[in-house]
Every structure is written in C-alpha cells, then in structure tokens.
Structure 1
Amino acid sequence: MRKLDEFRAEKPAFYPDQAVYAAWSCAELGLGFEDIEGGTGLLFRVTSKGQAVHFGAGRCSWYPQNNATAATLASDKYFANRILEEAGVATLGGDYFFLNARHRAFRPEGHEREDAFKYLEKLGSKAFVKPLTGSRGDFAQVIRGEEALYRYLLVVAEHYDAVLVQPVTTGQEYRIFLLDGEVVYSARKFSPTLVGDGAQSLRELLSAHNALLKARGLSLIDPYVIASSLDDVLPAGGLFQIKGRTNLSAGGRMAFETPADTALAMAKQAAQALGLRAAAVDLFTDVDGDPDAIRVIEVNSNPSIRLLEELDRPDLILKIWRRSFSAVDLIDV
C-alpha cells in the first residue's frame, strides 16, 4: 500500500480531501481516475469494467449508495429530527425559523425571524443555534439573550435562509461512522482550545484562531460568547476551551473512542430511520449529567473522513471508498 501522505504531496494544496482519497483508492484498487476539471479535483470520473461514474466536490455527495431523497432529508436538521423522533430516536429537539420574508406566503405561521425571539425566551433566554442546512460547524454557537440573537441572525441571514434553535445541552460528544449498519469507526469529539504563551491575551489568541476560521471559509467566534475577560493572559501551556462546535474544520479535536453499546445501537437506528447506507451520526451521551441519557445531535449524509488520515488509518479510508465504488458496480466488495 502506497503511503497516503506521499500521494497527497503530489497534489495541489487546494485539492479536496475526498478527491485525494478517491484517487489514492483508485490506484490501490486498480480503477481508473480522471480529473476532468483542469487538475482542481473538483470534478472527476472513476472508470472500471467499461463504465464510468462521476463525482464532484462541494455540495455533491461522495457516497453514491445514499439515495438523493434520504441525503436531502438528512441535510435539513429539523426534518431529520422529526423523522428520528417518529422512529423513537431521541434528539435535541428545537424549532426552525426563516431569516427573510421571501416565500412567506407559502409557509405556516410561527417560523419567522420575530418568532425566534419568542422561542429563545421560552428556552430561558439561552439556546444553541445553527443554520438549518449548515455544515462544518459554520455559525453553530450558544446564544445568550435577545441582543446576542439579534446580532447573530443579522450576520447569518447573509449566508443562510433559516436556522435551527435548540436547548443548550451538555454531554460527551461522539461521531459514529456507519456503512450499511456496520460501525466503521467511532470517535470522541472535543472542543477547540486556545493555548496560552504567557504573553498574549485571550483577545489576541482568539483573533489568531478566528483568522484560521476565516481562511477556511467558516464563521468567526463571537467574542461575546467567551465567558471570561478577554484581557486575561493564559500562562504558557495553559488551555482555554471554546465550547460549542467541535468540528475538525472549526479547530476541534477527535480521538478514537467507543461509547456504550446503547449509543452504537441508537446511531444504527438513526441511520436506518433516515434511509442512509453511509452516515456519520453525532450524538451526546451522559446528557446533562444523566449517565443513561443519549441524544442524537445530527446525522451527516456526506461526512468528511479527514480524521482517518490524521490518525493514520488509510486502511479505513480504503474500506469506505471500496464500499462506495462497489455500490455503483465499479468493483466487487
């Protein structure tokens, strides 16, 4: 097996991760790989047995075994929650709210921007808010009070049409990656941390962190959510946890760890309820201090697998792409 890092070094820095993994997997499996977008990796064709299948970056699904209906429903966090609750899978609940008046005549009352403030009050003026169809942790954060929600919605409306407002929940967060009901891997998720150097203030450390998020095309951390003085200076090596989103792309960290069997069973039930053959289920265990409580956060129908490269598990990357190629008859399982 050729080393993945050596293979990646031959590709441009902007080449999408999954395009790298697909090309590497094709080389390992003896399949044809053709970049058909001028070497960008944004659009490519995989060939075998006289047939070809196309893949694209961005919003395009990397998992052809998922049908379009299931993948689309899963991408709407409210719809996905409703389907899961109907199937007996506990979620974090919440409600959705549109951010502009466009198409207002075609939707029911109670889901407009002004209604979000009433819902926030119902939740005790504290909520976790994220775009209804967002990804990579973009604009996912805790909101405290009407003023903070007003500022948040004003900014998010420039990028998204609607948000999901949920109760703030605590627990141990896991990601469970499934293929046809099989757990390929599970990992514990941790929040981003700022590391002190004994000289820079939290404000300066947060500014540097936000610069990285901006470079990745993600929303910045609002200084108002930091429950400490921004003028505080962390000692060298001291850590400050930024609670909220735990996505790798947002600076979070993940490590292989397997939760209880009950959590694995719930993840399988969630993927099955949504009709997904390939899925990453994010969930909380030990919800709000209850060791028996588990809640699904969301189900991703097009999950990134960058973690597997970072933790040196190319064998699992190959397994995932082999299964995807076999789903469209490019290779036998």
Structure 2
Amino acid sequence: MSFITSMIEKLALQLDAVVTIEPEYQLVGHITFKNGKKSAFSQTKFNINGFGSAELVKDKAYANYFLQKFGYRVTEGKTFFSEKLCSKFPNLRNIHDGGNYTQSLGFPVIVKPLNLSQGTLVTKVYSLEEYYTVAEKIFQINTGLIVEKFYPGNDYRIVVLDQEVFVTYQRIPLFVIGDGQSTILQILQQKQEKFIEIGRKKIIKFDDFRILQKLQQQNLDFKSIIPEHHRVYLLDNANLSSGGEAIDFSESIHPDFQNLAVKITQDMGLRLAGVDILTDDITQPLGNYTLLEVNGSPSLSHYAASGEIAAKKVENLYLKILKILENE
C-alpha cells in the first residue's frame, strides 16, 4: 500500500469513516463517511477541485495562457506536436518548428511533455541535437510538448487549500555527495536503498538518459569517484518523484509568497493546488519570480516520507480535505 493511501486510511478512522481500498494495486479507494456521504480518491486526487479547473491546469500551455492574462510572471514558451497529430491538423507547429524555436530562444531551454506529471521527461536541453532526441522520446508517449525559456532560481512548491498555505518546501534535484572512495553508481545505489527504507520506493531510474546526459556534461560517468564532500547533480529537474529532496520552508515562507500562491489558486478556480515557483529566496518579500506550474493534485508522498514533521503537515492537510468532503 502506498504511503499516502495508508495515511488516508488511518485519518479516516479518526472520522469514523469506512475506507475500501482496491486490493491489487492499492492506489484507489472509496470513503463512506459517518453521515452517509461518499467520496472516492486515486492516490492524491480527491473530489475537491472542480473538474473544469482541474483539467485546465493539467495542460501547461492552456494554464500559462490564463495565468499570463491574470498578470502572473509565467515562463515564455510554445507548444509543438507530433507528426501523427500534425498530419491530421496541418496548422499545428511540428517538431521542426520546435527546433527553430529553441534556437530563437537561445540554449539552454527546458523541453517537457505538455500534460504529464512528476517531471516525466522534463529535460534541460543545450543543443539542437539534444532537443530532437528529447522531442522524439516525448512523442513516443505523448502527442505534445512545450519548449520554455530557461530561468534561474530556486525551485519551491507551495501547497494551498482554501486560502491557507499548509506546506512549503524547496525542491533540490537528484544529487550525490562524494566520499573519495565510492563510484557515483555505488553512491546512487546507496541513496536508492535509503529512499526505500523511508518509504519512497525505487524512484531513481539508473537508465534515465537525462542522468547520463548530465554526467557527460560534467565529464563524468557512473564509474567516476567523487572527492569527499563534493556534490554532483544528476538531474536538472527538481521533482521529488525522480529522486529530488525537500528542504522545508513552511514556517519561514514570506507572507507575500503565501498571498501570491493563494491568489493564483483562487484565480485558477481551484481549492487545492501545488504552486511551483522559481525565486531566489522565498523567505524575503516578493520580488522577481517565475511561475512554473500549478498542479491541481499535488503529490506529497515523497515529501511526507522525508521526516516526521513533514508527515504531520501532510496529515493535517489530508484531514482537512476529508472533513471538507464529509461536510460539504
């Protein structure tokens, strides 16, 4: 059973609710509350957001259009589509249009699937050749991609429910720290084992082309031995689901950023959202920032597994969600 599913099952007991979990994969469940109301969930997806708003933010390009209209500082980017889709709709921008666009933006750029989650195939691209490699991989599983300008800054997720910020954390990309003796592969294997011990499962994909690409850019490979205390990043995207780590800022986020995240959530018609922002320091008053994404079903399983305090914060959030589902 997943970390979050077991947490929901435990919290439901506090409300005298009955939870039934689908037994084979244990990711989907049904809740019958004490007052007779019923609700279903699928991992971190609850009946809390309206369908239209939830669907809108799934598509990064659509979401960015409206967010920009509302005055938020979103990433500059364009969408491009697979050959199969372009053959049906000739007016769509194709993979070669995307190649031209990457050159007009200037490298590096970020290339990512249009409507997938958890950082799947999100790649920092440094050349036209790399763009085509990534685009072809994306088009094997998705009909659209988005090319975005690269923006510097620290990557933060702010989780909002009904005008209240429950969780804020910085996301650090997958990395290893050398000991002067072990190879990168050995250290990475040790890291995977530690993740499994705390309930994060096998989230590091050793055959991920992005890891190999990142190592090559640093003139390294899996056999390289890293000096003691030296840190080497293995991915550019900071998603916890691909091996990233969290630094908690829930108690120190500046009110300006809390208000910003709440307003973004409301403007997108959501009640629950994960607002992903790039900025230098989220503890300081609002200055330069870039809004990366708004997620209508933010996954907090890896964050919750990072420690007791984090788990308690997620428990408080999910208990509030269950009470809303029960009483509204």
1:206 is displaced (CA, Å) by: 6.8
- Asked if structure 1 preserves the Cα contact closer than 8 Å seen for 2:246 and 2:306, the reply is no
Q: What's 1:253 paired with?
A: 245
Q: What's 2:29 paired with?
A: 44
- Asked if structure 2 preserves the Cα contact closer than 8 Å seen for 1:31 and 1:47, the reply is yes
Alignment of 1:109-258 (within 5 A): 109=92, 111-202=93-184, 215-216=202-203, 219-226=208-215, 227-230=217-220, 232-257=224-249, 258=252
Paired with 2:134 and 2:186, the residues of 1 have a C-alpha distance of 22
Q: Secondary structure at the match of 1:230?
A: coil
Q: 1:253 to 1:216 in 2, by over 3 A?
A: closer
Paired with 1:139 and 1:74, the residues of 2 have a C-alpha distance of 18
Paired residue type of 1:230: L
Q: What's 1:274 paired with?
A: 268
1:196 is displaced (CA, Å) by: 2.1
- Asked if structure 2 preserves the Cα contact closer than 8 Å seen for 1:201 and 1:233, the reply is yes
1:302 is displaced (CA, Å) by: 0.7
Normalised by the size of structure 1, how large is the TM-score? 0.83
Q: What's 2:293 paired with?
A: 298
Q: Secondary structure at the match of 2:210?
A: coil
Percent identity of paired positions between Structure 1 and Structure 2: 22
Alignment of 1:21-36 (within 5 A): 21-35=7-21
1:50 is displaced (CA, Å) by: 2.3
Pairwise CA RMSD: 2.8
Q: 1:157 to 1:217 in 2, by over 3 A?
A: farther
Q: Secondary structure at the match of 2:84?
A: coil
- Asked if structure 2 preserves the Cα contact closer than 8 Å seen for 1:210 and 1:221, the reply is no
1:76 is displaced (CA, Å) by: 0.6
- Asked if structure 2 preserves the Cα contact closer than 8 Å seen for 1:19 and 1:41, the reply is yes
Aligned residues, how many? 309
Q: Secondary structure at the match of 2:168?
A: strand
Q: 1:215 to 1:154 in 2, by over 3 A?
A: farther
Q: Secondary structure at the match of 1:117?
A: helix
- Asked if structure 2 preserves the Cα contact closer than 8 Å seen for 1:201 and 1:230, the reply is no
- Asked if structure 1 preserves the Cα contact closer than 8 Å seen for 2:40 and 2:46, the reply is no
After alignment, is 243-252 or 208-217 more displaced?
Answer: 208-217
Unaligned runs of 5+ in 2: none
Paired with 1:309 and 1:194, the residues of 2 have a C-alpha distance of 19
After alignment, is 260-269 or 154-163 more displaced?
Answer: 260-269
- Asked if structure 2 preserves the Cα contact closer than 8 Å seen for 1:172 and 1:286, the reply is yes
Unaligned runs of 5+ in 1: 1-14
1:32 is displaced (CA, Å) by: 1.1
Paired with 2:308 and 2:13, the residues of 1 have a C-alpha distance of 18
- Asked if structure 1 preserves the Cα contact closer than 8 Å seen for 2:111 and 2:134, the reply is no
Tell me the alpha carbon deviations over residues 236-288 of structure 1, each in whole angstroms, 9 at most, x when there is no partner: 3432123521111111111211343332222122211211100010101139x
Q: 1:151 to 1:214 in 2, by over 3 A?
A: farther
